[in-house]
Amino acid sequence: MFRCILLLVAASSDSDIYMLEKGATTNQLKVKTLFTHSLIFAVVSVLMTFLGLMIGKLILNEKMVLLHEMITILIFLCISAIIFVRTFRKEKIIERLKPEMDLKTTLKQSILTGIDFLLIGVSLTGIGIAPIYILFAAFLLNLSSSLSASCIGYYLGADYQKAFGYLSALIYFVVANIELISLVL
């Protein structure tokens, strides 16, 4: 179960960077709006995890699952590097710039950041945890982390986005290395 939670925390950390920026650039705090955008991220993460679990059921061959876990580790390392480089190069964000959050953009971003949930769903297929628990954990972790990130962005500003970016890259890197070590041992 610890492996499942660790993977889901890593996967939800990249959506936090986006929600922190959205919280910082919004003119006025509306809990309903922030909750709606966080709910979009949570629902998409659950759907992607479910799709990954279904794909994992189709390829429940041991060699294929092992290959997929190695691909997941490689992708997590790539995501870590991409987030680190983008965070390092990011310019300062102009706060309170946009009057309203756009649902279409949030949906598009949640699908892009939800691809890692798809990979996690496939890699968690054969570990013996009921899928409903995995989906429930994915929903709660993503909803709470994206909602808290948007509130942090609104109240404390976008200066924390770099810290979130570095933390997210570090989480991805550590999780990928833990998975690699557990795969080798």
pLDDT of residue 64: 73
pLDDT of residue 51: 92
Taking the C-alpha atoms of residue 178 and residue 45, their distance in angstroms, rounded to an integer, is 22
Q: Give the mean model confidence (pLDDT) for residues 54-63.
A: 77
Residue 55 sits at the vertex; the CA angle it makes with 111 and 61, to the nearest 5 degrees, is 145
pTM of the model: 0.78
Q: Give the mean model confidence (pLDDT) for residues 104-125.
A: 83
